[in-house]
Chain A
Amino acid sequence: MAKVLVVDDSSSMRQMVSFALKQAGHDVTEGRDGNDGLSKAQGLKADLVITDVNMPGKDGLELTRELRKLPDYKFTPILVLTTEAGPEKKQEGKAAGATGWLVKPFDPEKLMSTVNKVLR
């Protein structure tokens, strides 16, 4: 069981991701957008962060950059959810400090196999 922070401004997406993670026995905290995610992250010491990229206020890349500045999140796996499969977008995520990405659309199986790459 791991502590996972799921940040997405779309509640259906957030619900789906959370549900799949909870079914796998993980402890999920949800963030509604980048700012909410950042404040939830502090004090949580999550084992994994999954964040959408396009969000109002603070987007997923900014969130990733700011998380990496926090001692607790220096090496924490951060996965970004992106709709773009192109190398540019992936590179943007990497440059911000993301561990990896998950390209939308994805199904719960794909989500869990990706999560299992970083959660052991």
Chain B
Amino acid sequence: MSMDMSQFTEAFLEESFEGLEHMETELLALNAGDEETLHTIFRAAHSIKGGAGTFGFSAISEFTHGMETLLDRMRNGQQETTPEIVNLLLRAVDVLRGQLQAARDGGEADPAEAAEVRALIEATLGDAAPDATPDALAPTVGGNVDGSGPENGPGDSDGTPRGWRIHFRPHADLLRTGNDPLRMFEVLEELGELTVHCDAEGLPATLEGYDPEASYLAWTLELRGDADRADIEEVFEWVEDECDLTIEPLETAGDSTGAHPPADPAPDGSGPESTPPGGEDSAAGAPARAASKPTESSSMRVNAAKIDALIDMVGELVITQSMLTDISEQMEEDPSRVEQQIERLRSGLAELERNTRELQESVMGIRMVPIAQVFNRFPRLVHDLSGQLGKQIDLQMEGELTEIDKTVLEHLGDPLVHLVRNAIDHGIEMPDERSAAGKDPTGRVTLEAYHRGGNVVIEIRDDGRGMNSDRILEKARAAGLLRPDQNPEPHEILQYIFEPGLSTADQVSDLSGRGVGMDVVKKNIRGLGGNIELHSEPGRGSRVTIRLPLTLSIMDGQLLKIHDETFVIPLIAIVESLQTEPENVKQAFGKLPLYRLRDEYIPVVDLAALFGQAEPSPMPDRALLVVAEADNQRVALRVDDLLGQQQVVIKTLETNFRRVPGTAGATILGDGQVALILDVAGIARMTSGRDTRAA
């Protein structure tokens, strides 16, 4: 029988990544002498080792072996649990993660780091108990991975005896382990011609004291054929300590074997596939490379309840569909009663709409995964960083079970790492500095996620030194982002930290060094359709708020009419819609008109002109404006009409056309019309002349 193992490889990898995450979490929480935690960590390593061997990843299996031995010592109290050992094991977790990633993506793990960590583990093992590096692994991996197992060639040419005589006397308890002499004889029968003589002398003479569950019989068996001794030994492998067993050749075909029965199958069965030590690498390495290479998002675990809900909904959909079919049949049969059927048709369609919406929500729900999958990496990060920097940090995580689209989640890791790292690196002060400022010497970093509206909000807070807005203003001016006469509000000043010109400028520490790469963070978040904001109070700490859409592919939109074309604007971007009052319009020559909304002047964008549908036209006395906000900038969009609101499926333009400035893609409306989706932030940039890409 041959079986494609790759179908289980993916499951194995996924489970191993989970196991590693678990190991990491437990290692970070490990206290000396915490036996239960050690058991858990040990089991995780053990499972990875076993699975890796079975699914053909011998390097992973070998690497894990040392970890496992070390963990075994620790849980048995033979090895002390020290911070150094924990850090070594954490490094080993990283190596293993790299190896698993390489196995999944087909890349290559860093062999030098693996070798170094392995050597360190072995050195530790050597220190603790020089006698006991187990040798169990080598024969295990080598012997079985290549699939040759015990079925080495029988070496029929040179002197295998024509048969064997087997004396088999089970001990009384043999049956109690589920072993059955009869089944064993049946296996022997497959190896050749078998004759069985039963010796019943051991049976008690009377029934008194007779134990029906004990074994009293003995057998002498003769097996004719060219079976190997090893084949026979394998049949009795499990009972060798529960019986008296002798295996002797019946008669031999040549003198040499008579003196030396082939107890070891290797010398004469040495085909190319049966040399364990050498075959190990090549044979086990090949399936590792040949295994399927799922991409990061190709498989995911789904809660069974979600699937059940889907099935329910499909059931309802089927019912609705048959109801609609029935209506159409009735209409055909009796056209005179169409009037009555219309009402039924309407309610059927309403039902269909409800089903579709629910189904859509459920299908979206399948892609939703708890944000804990990203949050989980932070205890380790904080542990490492606080060790490196000599800072004391208490990491709080809230709302880990908040669900978010899997794709969004996958792209969220790096920006969050960056933000948390910055908070620790530059936000949190050294313990003595904190004490001097009257603060708790232990700094606090909080990660929180929650749902608000159609969004997932993630906050990264620290109670560190906060940011100096004067310095940022100075930097922003120096970078030419602001004219000397511009005096933004303190809150607006902080947002300049996300500007590329500022962030890469320099990394002076009195600017909290936070500029480094913040523009990249913002770009990533914007790429996910989200936005990012910063609040900070000197001496009290900072708060970064990230708002992300629940999903990337569907959004709530407001349909707009602009010069006979329909556009969609994300509902989340709209601040308000209004009819202009003539006295609030300020029109300056050569500049965008401004509209005064309460005490704020907002630039008005002539969308028809912007998209080249019409010549720029002066603003009429009464116009319809949609005030929208993105990136802390507001723009008022002049539109001809507000149509309905609906959910739209976002299709990218870039795939088939190219990026169009001011748009975030397109969608297909119910009537088949294509509508462009407005990118409010892009429009704001285009109109303020800061977007070079728009040119």
Contact = CB atoms under 8 A, between A and B. Distances in A.
B241 A112 contact: no
Interface string B137-160: 001110011010100000000000
Instruction: Identify the interface centre among A12, A19, A99: most chain B CB within 10 Å of its CB.
Output: A12
Contact of A107 (B5, B178, B235): B5
B43 interface: yes
A74 B42 CA distance: 31
Nearest to B242: A94
B181 to A, nearest CB: 12
- Most A-side CB within 10 Å, residue of B177, B180, B184: B177
Interface stretch (B51-59, B427-435, B658-666): B51-59
A74 B176 contact: yes
A109 B183 contact: no
A24 interface: yes
A94 B183 contact: no
Contacts of B183: 117-118, 120
Interface residues of B, number: 50
Given A105-B54, A106-B144, A112 B1 contact: yes
A75 B42 CA distance: 32
Given A19-B8, A83-B49, A97 B177 contact: yes
A101 B146 CA distance: 19
B40 interface: yes
Given A11-B11, A12-B55, A118-B178, A108 B238 contact: no
A41 interface: no
Interface string B261-280: 00000000000000000000
A56 B8 contact: no
Interface string A51-83: 010111000000000001000001111100101
Given A86-B134, A100-B238, A109 B149 contact: yes
A97 B178 contact: yes
Interface string A85-110: 11000010010011111011111111
B695 interface: no
A99 to B, nearest CB: 4
Contacts of A77: 178-180
B15 interface: yes
B237 interface: yes
Contact of B43 (A55, A84, A91): A55
Contacts of B134: 84, 86
Contacts of A118: 178-180, 183
A107 B147 contact: yes
A16 interface: yes
B564 to A, nearest CB: 57
A23 B1 contact: yes
A15 interface: yes
B554 interface: no
Contact of A85 (B43, B55, B139, B149): B139
Contacts of A2: none
Contacts of A44: none
Contact of A24 (B1, B176, B184, B186): B1
Given A11-B11, A19-B8, A109 B1 contact: yes
Contacts of B139: 85
B12 interface: yes
Which of B140, B147, B149, B180 has most A Cβ within 10 Å?
B140
A30 interface: no
B8 A86 contact: no
B61 interface: yes
B53 A104 contact: yes
B3 interface: yes
B72 to A, nearest CB: 10
A39 interface: no
Contact of B141 (A12, A105, A116): A105
B15 A16 contact: no
Interface in B233-277: 235, 237-238, 241-242
B12 A12 contact: yes
Nearest to B238: A100
Interface of B: 1-3, 5, 7-9, 11-12, 14-15, 40, 42-43, 46-47, 49-55, 61, 134, 136, 139-141, 144-145, 147, 149, 175-180, 182-184, 186-187, 213, 235, 237-238, 241-242
Interface of A: 9-13, 15-16, 19-20, 23-24, 52, 54-56, 68, 74-78, 81, 83-86, 91, 94, 97-101, 103-110, 112-113, 116-118, 120
8 contacts: A12-B9, A12-B14, A16-B5, A19-B7, A85-B139, A103-B140, A105-B52, A110-B144
